[in-house]
Amino acid sequence: MAKRDTASQAPIGDEIDVGSAPSVDGDGVPSKCLSFVLRSDWGHFRRIDRTVTKQTYRIPPRTTVAGLLAAIAGVSRDGYYDIFAPESSAVAITPVSPIRTVTQPTLGLGTHPGETMDSKGGSGKKTIRVKYPDSTDNRQIHSYELLVEPAYRIDVAVEDDRFYSVLKHRLETDTSFYPPSMGLSEFLAWTEPIDEENRFEYRPESVETGESVRVDSTVPDGIDEIVPQAGVAYDVERVPGYMEAHEGGRRTTGFIDYAFASGSLQIRSETVSPVDVNGHVVAFE
């Protein structure tokens, strides 16, 4: 598991050399990228289209991956949206192990400000008054759909020189500024190299497409290009893809339709541009 770096500041100072970041071409393919495996014991990426039952995405949304990488590098909550803009970044996601979920009921205190909250302290004007859930009130039961031992290979590139260099340094030294998590803060995650050489930086290479090509990663926005195969079932999820700061918060500006299977998919590469990264064929978005 990555060690929490409490000695340095976020972002990292001048103790690392800031090298040149990769460039991302018009097809969304970077000149080089950082590749690693992200693992955890549990995971939960809450679907934004569900309210009562807290279901999870099977594939981490691109926005979640961006936030996780920003946490590792030590970037503030709203400081990385432009870094992961579609024209200046590229991300590929591959499930490493079969995706399995369980439903876990949990009890929690209500947090409605007008119903289940109590308060103590001063007036709230000149002195502090603290609000907190009433621990004597009835608990509420919620069902969470959880990912069991989730593991994903992440291939990522950004054109920001400093962010790319800091992230590369964090991966190589197995450290993080903020603890990475698999969706929820209690589901701590860790990173691993993709091979025994403990390398993290690779250069994508073009692949011979022909009539179709095998893709190991999820296929972003390429559902119509998938070639049906006997005995191969695939799923499709629409997930948040991009964000921007908005009125003191943030909002989603675009979505991605990810197609994925337990193994590889065959696609006709008409709009998707697959590349080979260390023997692994991925599709960047």
Domain limits, the chain: 3-100+149-283, 107-140
As a whole number of angstroms, the distance between CA 143 and CA 54 comes to: 6
Look-up of token digits 């050399």 = 17
In the prediction, which pLDDT does 120 show?
A: 83
Q: CA–CA separation, 36 vs 275, rounded Å?
A: 16
pLDDT of 129? 83
pTM for this predicted structure = 0.87
What does the alpha-carbon distance between residue 1 and residue 52 come to, in Å, rounded to a whole number? 33
> For the chain, what is the mean pLDDT?
89
Helix axes 62-73, 161-173, angle to 10 degrees: 70
Question: Quick one: CATH architecture of 3-100+149-283?
Answer: 2-Layer Sandwich (3.30)
9 Cβ contact partners less than 8 Å away, ≥ 6 residues apart: 74
SS3 category, 164: helix
Beta strands in 73-217 (DSSP E): 89-95, 101-108, 117-121, 129-133, 140-148, 151-158, 175-176, 189-192, 201-202, 205-206, 213-215
Rounded Cα distance, 10 and 79, in Å: 11
State both tokens at 279. Answer: 């023997």
Q: CB–CB of 278/195 below 8 Å?
A: yes
Determine the pLDDT at residue 83: 95
Q: Which residues of the chain have pLDDT under 70?
A: 1-16, 52
Cα(74)–Cα(70) distance, rounded to whole angstroms? 6
